[in-house]
Chain A
Amino acid sequence: MRVYPAKPKTVYLYGTCLVDMFDPEAGLDAISLLEQQGLEVIFIEKQTCCGQPAYSSGYTKEAKSVAQSQMALFDEPWPVIVLSGSCGGMMHHHYRRLFQGDSALAKVEQFCERVFELTEFLVNVCRIKLEDKGEQTSVVMHTSCAARREMNVHVTATELLGQLDRVTLKEQAYESECCGFGGTFAVRHPNISQAMVEDKTRHLSETKAALLVSADWGCLLNINGAFEYQGHSMQGRHLASFLLERTGGK
């Protein structure tokens, strides 16, 4: 189990490349949520991508250079809040692996310890209490595999939804199963990926939940794209936007 620090005054936001390009509003919403907690949020302009695409495709050297460049941007000892469990897992776990045997390892590990996924930070560090100001509704949530298995944040995301009095969380069949994204996997093995995402969308829609939320845009690109292709109206949103909206911050 991870030991969490006391609540700081200032945090860095790591937007992730997918939020940057596909759902920048979620980034702003996350900032608002953190500011509501009395935190100063610093967004480093020079941040790009955590390097996961190169890493998972076997381009370790390239991934390492990206990792190095990203870590160099966050030199104050503040927590780095990541808007995706998958990128969070990359920065919290795999950066260490990239620097095994490297003289910089100790420093890298210090950085890794400062990396938190948004929901785990809100729950375990901010000890947030949400006040639900929305109408009665139901949601279903998809958690990315890295978020679940590397960061254990399905627990914290579920807890946040549980704090919303008028939101019923529906549970889909095979909840913990991968949606079939896996970065380049989806295009390298399109048929297997298709079988996986088709099962995922079916299980999600079978819950008849009004909304789909996820704290990971990789999975959302995959799931939303499949839903739209099927002509299904369900479209997932980033959890940060949903939480902000429910608490009247938007």
Chain B
Amino acid sequence: MSHTFNGPENIHSQAKAALDDPQLRQNFRGAMDYLQDKRRSAFADPDEESKIRELSEAIRQRCLSKLPELLELLDANCSRNGMVVHWAQDETEANEIIANIAQQHQAKTIVKGKSMVSEEIELNHEMAKLGIECLESDMGEYIVQLDGDKPSHIIMPAIHKNKQEVSDTFEAHLDDFTPTVDVDELIQTGRTRLRQKFHDADIGLSGVNFAVAETGTLCLVENEGNGRMCTTVPKVHIAITGIEKVVEFLSDVPPLYSALTRSATGQAITTYFNMISSPRKSGELDGPLELHLVLLDNGRTQAFQDEEMRKTLQCIRCGACMNHCPVYTRIGGHAYGTVYPGPIGKIISPHLMGLEKTKELVTASSLCGACGEVCPVRIPIPEMLQRLRTEAKNPPKPDAIAIEGQASASSTLESLAMKGFAFAATHPKLYHTGSWSATKLRGLMPNKIGPWTQCRTSPKLASNTLHQLIKARNKRAGGES
């Protein structure tokens, strides 16, 4: 099944469709249970877990507090190492930069390692318009691309499919494929078909997990080796990343790397860890002849400008928040209609796309806090959601800068209701008349109250409020004494 992205505005209908698909729900539940278990065993010692999380948070906060200067330093050091550094304000600029590089090399094919930022700028689509073919080489991305689909998870793009469904995809799109549900065989199939592509591609493109300012080093975390192939075999390597991925010191990397892999898949270490510091030097036998780094803003500075929302940028894209989210577990990644799904998607997408489009997204949470509890860099995701809800409902505070789509969810009716609530709650007499009459008139309560009663009976009010019972109790006590 291919999932058209209709945007986060349509989360209601997209979620409904996902909820009505038993196979999809089973796939997600099974996969998330598995990933939760993995994470649990990777952090068996809760004290160690909290130490790692505190350290990771501190590192990310320190780096973000110096973001502008670290980016300058990164640019200087990467350039000194022989990379070409590009700054892109938005998707259009990023695509133009990449298209220009491709055109300079008369490139026809780009082989890609996993990069969510490339999804963010819809690179494949934009390059196709120019006659440049992008080939996904990460196994999950490869499957998703064969389907003409989008990733449903930031770490495991094809997690929405089970083995049988992967086999079905291969059968539909690959010649000489014999259907199988043997995972090794499926992977081997992908690997064999991809092998030649690495050699043929004109350009390799990858994401970046950590960009080290002090040394000008790009770190890439992966398990399949395709990342290394993409970044070493083609003549040109383009790395693209969001501006928030910069870290100050090389020594910041090991703790973050450990927090990342343990949170994501429960691995102590990944199969591959690439540290890229320059294009091929003279005398070296391999490596790209040209190395470009594209630094993308695309709304990140908006989050950066606000001290509280800046925490959103601490994210190291481990996916643990979605793996533990009861909403994500049930509706899966596509229903969100955003590149980044799950809890992190709900708090970063408003900056990337504006609140107007994402206002339904920020309400799609019970604020249960399962995400914040596992986030390795301790982003208080529920607080971020509460904050974004406030921004969606209200004009900016007098001293603050409006964020894109500010107040787009403001509703006169709801706002009146909430003002009424606040007025009543601060005026006890009025409030208690309200709850008194509610309990007294409970027979008149409608037994259908909108969406609540689609799966529940309506709540039953008691015949007296606690306030009344206590009054009566005190009276009795007074009478007895």
Contact = CB atoms under 8 A, between A and B. Distances in A.
A79 interface: no
Contact of B418 (A47, A59, A195, A197): A59
B461 A48 contact: no
Interface residues of B, number: 66
B369 A57 contact: no
A226 B455 contact: yes
Interface in B440-480: 450-462, 464-471, 473
A20 interface: yes
B451 A59 contact: no
Interface in B283-324: none
B182 to A, nearest CB: 30
Contacts of B418: 53-54, 57, 59, 62
B15 A192 contact: yes
Size class of the contact patch on chain A: 35 or more
Given A54-B418, A146-B369, A21 B461 contact: yes
A190 B363 CA distance: 12
Contact of A177 (B326, B389, B415): B326
Contacts of B451: 186-187, 190
Given A149-B368, A225-B458, A54 B390 contact: no
A184 B19 contact: no
Nearest to B325: A178
Interface string B369-397: 11011000000000100101111111000
B15 A66 contact: no
A59 B415 contact: yes
A56 interface: yes
Contacts of B372: 149
B456 A225 contact: yes
A21 B445 CA distance: 13
B457 A228 contact: yes
Contact of A150 (B25, B369, B388): B369
A197 B106 CA distance: 56
B2 interface: no
B369 A145 contact: yes
Nearest to B308: A100
B369 A196 contact: no
Given A51-B425, A58-B389, A24 B435 contact: no
B421 interface: yes
A197 B368 CA distance: 13
A68 B389 CA distance: 21
Given A15-B467, A59-B422, 10 more contacts: A27-B466, A43-B470, A51-B425, A58-B390, A69-B426, A146-B367, A182-B365, A187-B450, A194-B454, A225-B452
19 contacts: A21-B435, A21-B461, A22-B462, A24-B465, A24-B469, A28-B470, A45-B467, A45-B470, A48-B431, A58-B386, A62-B418, A69-B426, A70-B425, A146-B369, A149-B372, A178-B366, A188-B363, A196-B326, A229-B455
Give me the 4 closest cross-chain CB pairs, A-B, nearest first. Answer: A182-B366, A58-B389, A225-B456, A190-B451
